[in-house]
Structure 1
Amino acid sequence: MIPVVYSNLCPVCGGDLESKEIEKHVCFRKKRSLCLFPEDFLLKEFVEFFRKCVGEPRAIQKMWAKRILRKESFAATAPTGVGKTSFGLAMSLFLALKGKRCYVIFPTSLLVIQAAETIRKYAEKAGVGTENLIGYYHGRIPKREKENFMQNLRNFKIVITTTQFLSKHYRELGHFDFIFVDDVDAILKASKNVDKLLHLLGFHYDLKTKSWVGEARGCLMVSTATAKKGKKAELFRQLLNFDIGSSRITVRNVEDVAVNDESISTLSSILEKLGTGGIIYARTGEEAEEIYESLKNKFRIGIVTATKKGDYEKFVEGEIDHLIGTAHYYGTLVRGLDLPERIS
């Protein structure tokens, strides 16, 4: 065989690639397999990091990681419980420790609080510090903490906020290397939020040409369980080369049981049989209040609405056994829960 040299085509070192190296499947300079790419080494490092923080990653989580490490944007369309949020938080911490800026967006304040607590637990398990690394903001933090957050906003490597904060303060956020949107449906609900996400990634809208220009300096991962599209979602395909996709039904450890009786006595019987960790959804806030008043003397029960959230913390701590809320699409107990250890 005549020796061949391919100029600057070695996938490992970027130098010349010789036919002998192709035969041996090895880069002679770096002593590494030609079948491995730079992100493969980072992937191996991330998998070990994920094991320390969360546990053994699923195959789909490894696939997500590889795409992010390649700086690809994509939509993770999967049911609740697959591990989208835990992955997004672990990846944010992993990248932040390598000097990257990450932005994590949730639809509710409750999820922001949970995420901040979770990411600190991950850091503790991984044996890394989080001082001045993480900044989070929601409407319930004290005024002084809000002021401190805004003053140091661009210094945080991980920023965690609600969608509402993005809407109001996107110009102050700066650019990011990785953005994780937990529940993209809340972003698509207000189409201008899509524009703001693109701005954070490095794009800008040219009024003269009436088009988006620039290149993404980072990647975007959007999480959704329902995949409801909006007109602005088309920009994701045009600029970031991905689409929201469609919903998929997978096998889950959930039983669907229908009871054709809405009486309080039947509901009481169900709660007695199933034990603690129950969530009761009502059609309206008024109905939720009525159910609460009917059950509060018999069960350790609380109520969570847009204006009443104190019982949520009691539920987390085990001080009460059940929560009542509304079944609105963007309701607090619909979009604002990530408590598999408490909800049975």
Structure 2
Amino acid sequence: MYLIYSNSCPACHGDIEAYRLDLGLPCTKCLLRIDEKLSGHLRNYSLRNKLLVETLGVSGDYLLMYTSDEDLRAFESFFEKIMGSKMWSIQRMWSRRLLDMESFALIAPTGIGKSTLLQIYSLYMMNFNKKIYFILPTKQLAEQTFERLRLYSERIGFDPYLIHIYDSSKKTSLAELVHEILEKDAGVLITTASILSRRYNEIKNLIFDIIIADDLDAILRSSKNLDRVLELLGFDREVLDYAFKISILSQELIYNKLNNRAELVERIREEIEILRSEIASFRNSKRIGQLIVSTATGRSGLKTKILREVLGFEAGGIIEYSRNIIDSYEYLSNHETLYNILSELGSGTVIFVSKSDGTKIKDLYHKLNEAGFRVGVADSKTNHLKKFLSREIDYLIASASVYGIATRGVDAPQIIRNAVFINIPGYTVSLDKFLTDPKKLYLLYKSLTRYFSEAEEIASDIGRVIYSRKLSELHIIRRVLRGEIESSDYLREVINRLRSYISIAKEKLSKLCNEKISLRIGVVYPCLNNVAIPDPITYIQA
């Protein structure tokens, strides 16, 4: 007895036995007998697909699979010609999606090979008369991308003058660069995200086939920049309004479901489907470009929901990959300890100073200089970053900020070997905002168990609330506690309970402060009325 899958034959989309799917074969109606030539190549996917395309009257998805394999093989050859080495397996996986013109985010830590792959992909697509736009977070990274694309172009005999970067210090205006690209069949434009914001009127006449944002935040930090990117890909303003409205309606849908308003829920569902059909109709009638984002950190939110509606674009969470990295820590009792660490690590070390730390970057720079270290500061006022990348200096001091020059503005894994963080990278938020998140409230009470006996019982109750509720319900609870929306009857009792726990927590923290207990509870500073939040995004990006 065989397991039968309905509508799953790769050739005719009819019913097919499971064992034939496992062998990569079509159903018996499409191919009854398997000849000797085909049976010898069942595990050679590319050759098998080629033979089936030649054999079958209706090849169906086999033609698509064979074409995809051939496209990948051609791109791999192009990659090897430029780099002198083969792709990594993760780059091959991304390449399939790139060549299918899929819009998506390459989410992986620094050093995996995202930027290199996208730079070579852009050159490859110029073979097919594509216009490409690189959006970078910093001027330094834009210049690096420009230099590498020019270098790669020369290796394969491409015209390097098809690659343009806008530099406000040069004589060539942005309008002139746009005109040059419009005049040619193919071309690359490179700018920073800030240029996109300030000089959009000079770019808006271009419709790009591919836009590559070498940082998710470069386009998501500003709603207007996101709209600009989508318009440069070929979307109309009206279609973007549809996507925004769907995102808002989706939140209303959840809220009304929780309040058992069935009639209103159905009406919202119908409105969402109508808007989605309008977006689909527009996409089918227009040639829409491809959006590719390279990032070390995935983000979610309203703006990523808009991307999903118009492009099917997903920008999910962080994906873990194995890297040859040693993580360690040391308590810095004095500067001598830091000097010893830096001496042992040697050249190619970036020193990140946390904004929450009392250490002044300038003071640290002078101390290290006096101690004999060849060191510089990563800022826009000096050329120390260039000196570091050219190995004229060994160490670079930078702010541990998610948008810092050294965090997002440098792509040089062959130079940067080590990162030293002075204190944990982080930022602060108000205690009031912190306590409106049930998960954070739970963690606070777990920290307070040693200071008052009821804390454990309250923490357990908050834990039950967290684990018994859907993520959408917890989102609504946070918004109600922050005063953004009114409470529903369905959640009223839970929200009242949490409000009472917030009041108790504030009272206990105030008491600890009044008693002049010098301590830090978890990441909460009782007497400062704020909370220090660790910033893993900066740590991963660096």
Residues 25 and 271 from structure 1, CA distance in 2 versus in 1: closer, same or farther, beyond 3 angstroms?
A: same
1:252 aligns with 2:323: yes
Task: Give 1:177 deviation, angstroms.
Answer: 1.0
Given that 1:185 and 1:227 are in contact with CA atoms closer than 8 Å, whether structure 2 keeps it comes out as: no
Change (3 A) 1:206 1:326: same
SS at match of 1:102: strand
Aligned to 2:54: 27
User: How far is the alpha carbon of 1:20 from its aligned partner?
Assistant: 7.6
Q: Assess if the C-alpha contact under 8 Å between 2:114 and 2:294 holds in 1.
A: yes
How far residue 97 of structure 1 moved from its aligned partner, in angstroms, is 2.7
Which structure's CA Rg is the greater one? 2
Q: Name the TM-score, length of structure 1 as normaliser.
A: 0.85
User: Which secondary structure does the structure 1 equivalent of 2:160 belong to?
Assistant: coil
Residue of structure 1 in register with 2:303 after alignment: 232
Task: Tell me by how many angstroms 1:312 deviates.
Answer: 1.1
State whether structure 2 residue 81 is matched by structure 1 residue 52: yes
- Segments of 5+ residues of structure 1 without an aligned counterpart are 1-8, 11-17
> C-alpha displacement at 1:336, in angstroms?
0.7
Q: Which letter maps to 1:254?
A: I
Contact 1:106/1:182, CA 8 A, preserved across alignment: yes
Amino acid at match of 1:325: A
Give 5+ residue unaligned stretches, structure 2: 1-10, 13-28, 35-50, 244-278, 418-542
Distance 1:204 1:262, change over 3 A: farther
8 Å CA contact retained: 2:378, 2:405:
yes
1:195 aligned residue: 227
- TM superposition shift of 1:186: 2.5
Gap change, CA 1:210 and 1:102, over 3 Å in 2? closer
Is the strand fraction higher in 1 or 2?
A: 1
Q: Is 1:120 the equivalent of 2:150?
A: yes
Alignment CA distance shift 1:144-1:234 (3 Å) = same
Match of 2:414 in 1: 341
Deviations 1:284-326 (A, max 9, x none): 4971111111112311111112x32411111121111111111
Please tell me whether the aligned partners of residues 138 and 162 of structure 1 are also in contact (alpha carbons under 8 angstroms).
no
Indicate yes or no: 2:293 matched with 1:222.
Answer: yes
Give the alignment's Cα RMSD to 1 decimal.
2.9
The residue correspondences of 1:1-344 to structure 2 (distance < 5 A) are 25-27=52-54, 34=63, 36-54=65-83, 55-131=85-161, 133-139=162-168, 141-144=169-172, 148-149=176-177, 151-155=179-183, 157-173=187-203, 174-206=206-238, 210-211=241-242, 213=279, 214-215=282-283, 217-261=288-332, 263-284=334-355, 287-297=360-370, 298-305=372-379, 307-344=380-417
Identity, in percent, stands at 35
Q: Distance in 1 between matches of 2:156 and 2:363?
A: 46
| Deviation, structure 1 residue 185 | 1.8
Shift of 1:110: 0.6
Cα gap change, 1:28/1:61 in structure 2, threshold over 3 Å: closer, same or farther? same
- Cα offset, 1:109, TM superposition: 0.6
Higher mean C-alpha displacement, 273-282 vs 32-41: 32-41
What amino acid does structure 1 have at the position aligned with 2:164? G
**Structure with more contact order per residue of length (Cα contacts < 8 Å, sep ≥ 6):** 1
Q: Is the 8 A contact 1:188 1:229 kept in 2?
A: no
Q: Paired residue for 1:14?
A: none
Please state which structure has a larger fraction of its residues in helix.
2
Q: For each residue in 1:128-158, what CA deviation from the matched residue of structure 2 results, as whole angstroms up to 9, or x when unmatched? A: 3312x1011245x324465743553534611
Distance apart, 1:127 and its partner CA: 3.2
Distance in 1 between residues matched to 2:297 and 2:113, nearest whole Å: 15
* TM-score, structure 2 as length reference: 0.55
Give a deviation string over 1:237-261, Cα, whole Å, max 9, x none.
1111122111122211111111110
